[in-house]
Structure 1
Amino acid sequence: MIGLLAGAFMGVTSGATAAESEAEAKSVALEASCKPNKVEAVQRLVGNNPDIVYKITCQNGKDLAVYVRCQGRTCFLVR
Protein backbone atom coordinates (compact mmCIF):
# COMPACT_ATOMS: atom_id res chain seq x y z
CA MET A 1 0.00 0.00 0.00
CA ILE A 2 2.78 2.45 0.91
CA GLY A 3 4.60 1.59 -2.33
CA LEU A 4 1.48 2.46 -4.33
CA LEU A 5 1.16 5.80 -2.57
CA ALA A 6 4.84 6.59 -3.13
CA GLY A 7 4.50 5.71 -6.83
CA ALA A 8 1.44 7.93 -7.17
CA PHE A 9 3.26 10.80 -5.45
CA MET A 10 6.30 10.40 -7.73
CA GLY A 11 4.03 10.55 -10.79
CA VAL A 12 2.45 13.79 -9.58
CA THR A 13 5.77 15.46 -8.83
CA SER A 14 7.31 14.49 -12.19
CA GLY A 15 4.22 15.84 -13.98
CA ALA A 16 4.51 19.14 -12.14
CA THR A 17 8.18 19.36 -13.08
CA ALA A 18 7.38 18.75 -16.76
CA ALA A 19 4.74 21.51 -16.70
CA GLU A 20 7.20 23.89 -15.05
CA SER A 21 9.93 23.13 -17.60
CA GLU A 22 7.44 23.61 -20.45
CA ALA A 23 6.58 27.06 -19.10
CA GLU A 24 10.29 27.89 -18.86
CA ALA A 25 10.80 26.62 -22.44
CA LYS A 26 8.04 28.95 -23.68
CA SER A 27 9.77 31.82 -21.91
CA VAL A 28 13.06 31.03 -23.66
CA ALA A 29 11.26 30.89 -27.03
CA LEU A 30 9.73 34.33 -26.39
CA GLU A 31 13.20 35.72 -25.66
CA ALA A 32 14.27 34.35 -29.06
CA SER A 33 11.47 36.33 -30.78
CA CYS A 34 9.25 33.25 -31.15
CA LYS A 35 5.70 33.59 -29.87
CA PRO A 36 4.88 29.96 -28.92
CA ASN A 37 2.10 28.28 -30.84
CA LYS A 38 2.59 24.53 -30.33
CA VAL A 39 4.93 22.85 -27.84
CA GLU A 40 6.03 19.27 -28.46
CA ALA A 41 8.50 17.20 -26.42
CA VAL A 42 10.79 15.54 -28.97
CA GLN A 43 13.30 13.97 -26.56
CA ARG A 44 12.85 13.04 -22.92
CA LEU A 45 15.36 11.54 -20.50
CA VAL A 46 14.03 10.79 -17.03
CA GLY A 47 15.92 10.31 -13.79
CA ASN A 48 17.20 12.42 -10.95
CA ASN A 49 17.89 15.32 -13.32
CA PRO A 50 15.23 15.15 -16.08
CA ASP A 51 16.27 16.40 -19.52
CA ILE A 52 13.64 17.38 -22.11
CA VAL A 53 14.05 18.87 -25.58
CA TYR A 54 11.02 20.80 -26.84
CA LYS A 55 10.20 21.76 -30.41
CA ILE A 56 8.25 25.02 -30.23
CA THR A 57 6.52 26.22 -33.38
CA CYS A 58 6.21 29.97 -33.67
CA GLN A 59 3.15 32.03 -34.55
CA ASN A 60 5.46 34.38 -36.48
CA GLY A 61 5.88 31.97 -39.41
CA LYS A 62 4.29 28.78 -40.65
CA ASP A 63 7.53 26.78 -40.87
CA LEU A 64 9.45 28.57 -38.11
CA ALA A 65 10.33 26.59 -34.98
CA VAL A 66 12.92 26.69 -32.21
CA TYR A 67 14.32 23.90 -30.07
CA VAL A 68 14.68 24.44 -26.34
CA ARG A 69 16.45 22.03 -23.97
CA CYS A 70 15.47 21.93 -20.31
CA GLN A 71 17.51 20.26 -17.60
CA GLY A 72 15.32 20.43 -14.53
CA ARG A 73 13.92 23.98 -14.65
CA THR A 74 16.96 25.44 -16.43
CA CYS A 75 16.18 25.91 -20.12
CA PHE A 76 18.25 27.19 -23.03
CA LEU A 77 17.92 27.60 -26.78
CA VAL A 78 19.50 24.82 -28.84
CA ARG A 79 21.43 26.05 -31.87
Structure 2
Amino acid sequence: FVAHKSVHILEYAILAVLLFRSTGSYWWAFVLSLAFGFTDETHQLFVTNREGKIRDALIDGFGSLISLLLLWKFLPKAPKKLKNWLPK
Protein backbone atom coordinates (compact mmCIF):
# COMPACT_ATOMS: atom_id res chain seq x y z
CA PHE A 1 0.00 0.00 0.00
CA VAL A 2 2.66 2.52 1.05
CA ALA A 3 4.90 1.83 -1.95
CA HIS A 4 1.98 2.10 -4.38
CA LYS A 5 0.76 5.38 -2.89
CA SER A 6 4.33 6.74 -2.81
CA VAL A 7 4.48 6.26 -6.57
CA HIS A 8 1.23 8.23 -6.93
CA ILE A 9 2.68 11.03 -4.81
CA LEU A 10 5.85 11.11 -6.92
CA GLU A 11 3.91 11.03 -10.22
CA TYR A 12 1.71 13.94 -9.24
CA ALA A 13 4.64 15.86 -7.77
CA ILE A 14 6.33 15.67 -11.17
CA LEU A 15 3.09 16.56 -12.96
CA ALA A 16 2.65 19.65 -10.76
CA VAL A 17 6.20 20.86 -11.44
CA LEU A 18 5.69 20.42 -15.18
CA LEU A 19 2.36 22.23 -15.01
CA PHE A 20 4.01 25.03 -13.06
CA ARG A 21 6.65 25.27 -15.75
CA SER A 22 3.93 25.42 -18.37
CA THR A 23 1.58 27.89 -16.66
CA GLY A 24 3.96 29.88 -14.48
CA SER A 25 1.35 29.75 -11.72
CA TYR A 26 1.45 27.72 -8.53
CA TRP A 27 -2.32 28.02 -8.25
CA TRP A 28 -3.07 26.75 -11.77
CA ALA A 29 -0.50 23.99 -11.48
CA PHE A 30 -2.21 22.76 -8.31
CA VAL A 31 -5.76 23.09 -9.65
CA LEU A 32 -4.95 21.33 -12.93
CA SER A 33 -3.06 18.48 -11.28
CA LEU A 34 -5.86 18.04 -8.73
CA ALA A 35 -8.45 18.03 -11.53
CA PHE A 36 -6.42 15.45 -13.42
CA GLY A 37 -6.26 13.26 -10.31
CA PHE A 38 -10.03 13.42 -9.84
CA THR A 39 -10.76 12.74 -13.52
CA ASP A 40 -8.33 9.81 -13.45
CA GLU A 41 -10.13 8.31 -10.47
CA THR A 42 -13.51 8.98 -12.10
CA HIS A 43 -12.56 7.16 -15.29
CA GLN A 44 -11.46 4.17 -13.20
CA LEU A 45 -15.08 3.76 -12.11
CA PHE A 46 -15.84 2.60 -15.66
CA VAL A 47 -12.89 0.21 -16.03
CA THR A 48 -13.31 -3.46 -15.15
CA ASN A 49 -11.37 -4.55 -12.05
CA ARG A 50 -10.54 -0.94 -11.10
CA GLU A 51 -11.94 1.31 -8.41
CA GLY A 52 -11.98 5.06 -8.38
CA LYS A 53 -11.42 6.37 -4.88
CA ILE A 54 -11.57 9.90 -3.55
CA ARG A 55 -8.77 8.96 -1.16
CA ASP A 56 -6.47 8.25 -4.10
CA ALA A 57 -7.31 11.58 -5.73
CA LEU A 58 -6.52 13.34 -2.45
CA ILE A 59 -3.21 11.47 -2.19
CA ASP A 60 -2.41 12.62 -5.73
CA GLY A 61 -3.28 16.18 -4.73
CA PHE A 62 -1.03 15.85 -1.69
CA GLY A 63 1.90 14.98 -3.98
CA SER A 64 1.16 18.02 -6.11
CA LEU A 65 0.86 20.29 -3.10
CA ILE A 66 4.11 19.09 -1.51
CA SER A 67 6.12 19.58 -4.70
CA LEU A 68 4.70 23.05 -5.30
CA LEU A 69 5.34 24.09 -1.69
CA LEU A 70 8.93 22.89 -1.97
CA LEU A 71 9.32 24.72 -5.27
CA TRP A 72 7.86 27.90 -3.79
CA LYS A 73 10.16 27.64 -0.76
CA PHE A 74 13.41 26.76 -2.52
CA LEU A 75 13.08 28.32 -5.99
CA PRO A 76 14.36 31.72 -4.79
CA LYS A 77 17.51 29.95 -3.50
CA ALA A 78 17.94 27.72 -6.56
CA PRO A 79 20.93 28.01 -8.90
CA LYS A 80 20.44 30.31 -11.88
CA LYS A 81 20.51 27.37 -14.28
CA LEU A 82 17.45 25.85 -12.60
CA LYS A 83 15.66 29.18 -12.43
CA ASN A 84 16.13 29.58 -16.19
CA TRP A 85 14.38 26.24 -16.72
CA LEU A 86 11.30 27.45 -14.85
CA PRO A 87 9.08 30.41 -15.79
CA LYS A 88 9.78 33.83 -14.39
Q: TM-score range by the shorter chain?
A: 0.3 to 0.5
Could you say which structure has the higher strand fraction?
Answer: 1
Q: What TM-score does the superposition give when structure 2 sets the normalisation length?
A: 0.32
Could you say which structure has the higher helix fraction?
Answer: 2
